[in-house]
Amino acid sequence: MKIAIYPGSFDPITNGHLDIIKRASKLFDKVIVLLAINPEKSYRFSKEDRLNMLCEVTKGMKNVEVDSYNGLTIEYARKHGASVLIRGLRVVSDFEYEWAYSAANEYIDKDIEMVFLMSHKELSFISSSAIDELYRSGVDISSLVPRVVLETYAKLQDNKLTK
């Protein structure tokens, strides 16, 4: 069985991420969407909210699972029998970061391959940080994210209003 892991912070998940998940699920027997937790980083959404959004958007995808991990992704891959890490590439500048990430992972474990999936051009400008900035500026992001993301933003807004 060919197992692939698609790691990310998914803060929030976008339609670009979802496209990569769907495409990866056609290429591999099992895809684990891994919410990577970095204690040094601050997030817009809680771990629980991000996991809930991931579970909601992958519901019904038979060979896709969601999990979280706060260590090295390559260690998680070893523990779960994965031989592939999936990474999405949107623009040329992504390549430099992903090249270094790939080299570091290869240093740790040469048997785990990196597979890069290019974003479709209509999704290439979408990033989690851009989504957040657009949302905070009042721009309609409904065509860029799954519905559950809009619902989670609304929940955050409601929580701020009640405090």
Catalytic residues: 17, 41, 90, 128
Contact 88, 117 (CB under 8 A): yes
Distance (Å, whole) CA 145 – CA 135? 11
- If one counts every other C-beta atom within 10 angstroms of the C-beta of residue 147, the result is 10
According to DSSP H, which parts of 7-118 are helical? 15-27, 47-58, 73-79, 92-108
3-state secondary structure of 156: helix
